[in-house]
Amino acid sequence: MRQLLVKTPDMPATVIAERVGWTGSITWFRDHVRQLRPDHWPVDPSDRLIWLPGDAAQCDLWFPPRKIPLEDGSKTLLPVMVITAAHSRFMVGRMIPTGHTADLLLGMWQLLQELGRVPRRLIWDNESGIGRGKRHAEGVGAFAGTPATTLQRLKPYDPESKGIVERRNGFFETSFMPGRDFTSPPTPRTSRPRRSCASSSSYPDGRLIQTPGWCGTSPTTTAPSGSSTAT
């Protein structure tokens, strides 16, 4: 039985019973095979990715789950570009008007200035404004050449390859957005250092807290009823 499992660890118990000439209880035989099978599974080939300092930053668009009021009185869903350094997990983000190429390139340029460094690689998924298939969108190649970086696009349906920024997007959904109401798109921050990545808000009991927000921008929030105004 063990010799068969060494060569074919997923062989069905009924086939093993036939090969070894078992004539007893098939239920007992299945239970015995179930106990032995884990000892013969091959070693899991998965490994851990190690990101070197300055090597890569993961980029993505996050869409807040509620519409943002605009100056003309309308409301719309505006994307937020998020860049997360793969090694340090330091993140910067900025709300942009659209997901078109021009807005994506301008957003990346502004966020790289906020980051203060240019990573060797900017990793994107199959975002249409960045490129499709084997070709970059118009202007993307020239943009990457200006700061001497490489813009790497992942294969379609491969979110695990940029799981760091995906987890940051999950943080925005579960920890940043709850309790916040936006009265307008974020406005440029002038009272905080350029590389600061915090915005002020309040607990319902009035305690002032610092929470990660849009780096370089400060969201206009409405404090919960009974709390002190965000400062």
Query: For 126-143, how does the pLDDT look when each residue is reduced to its tens digit (9 = 90+)?
Result: 888 999 878 899 999 999
In a domain, 48, yes or no: no
Supply angle C-alpha 76, 80, 84, rounded to 5: 170
CA distance 106 to 103: 5
Residue 207, in any domain of the structure: no
Supply 157's token pair: 């349906």
Establish if 142 belongs to a structural domain: yes
Q: What is the pTM of this model?
A: 0.59
Query: For 161, phi and psi rounded to 5 degrees?
Result: -70, -15
Asked which of 156, 177, 198 is the last residue of a domain, the reply is: 177
Give mean pLDDT, residues 71-92.
Answer: 88
Q: What is the DSSP letter of 182?
A: B
Which residues are within 8 A (CB) of 184 and not within 5 positions of it... i.e. 6 or more apart? Answer: 68, 69, 70, 71, 220
Cα angle, residue 65 at apex, residues 95 and 188 outer, rounded to 5°: 20
Residue spans of beta strands (DSSP E) within the chain: 56-62, 68-69, 75-76, 80-85, 91-95, 121-124, 131-132, 135-136, 150-153, 187-188, 198-202, 208-212, 217-218
Domain that holds residue 125: 56-177
Q: What is the pLDDT, as a whole number, of residue 195?
A: 35
Q: Is 197 contained in some domain?
A: no
Q: For a pLDDT cut of 90, what percent of the chain falls above it?
A: 26
Chain CA centroid to CA 212, Å? 15
Give the span between the Cα atoms of 32 and 203, in whole angstroms.
57
Tell me the per-residue pLDDT of 144-199, one tens digit each, with 9 for 90 and over.
Answer: 999 899 998 887 777 667 788 888 888 888 888 888 777 776 643 332 333 333 33
CATH number, domain at 99? 3.30.420.10
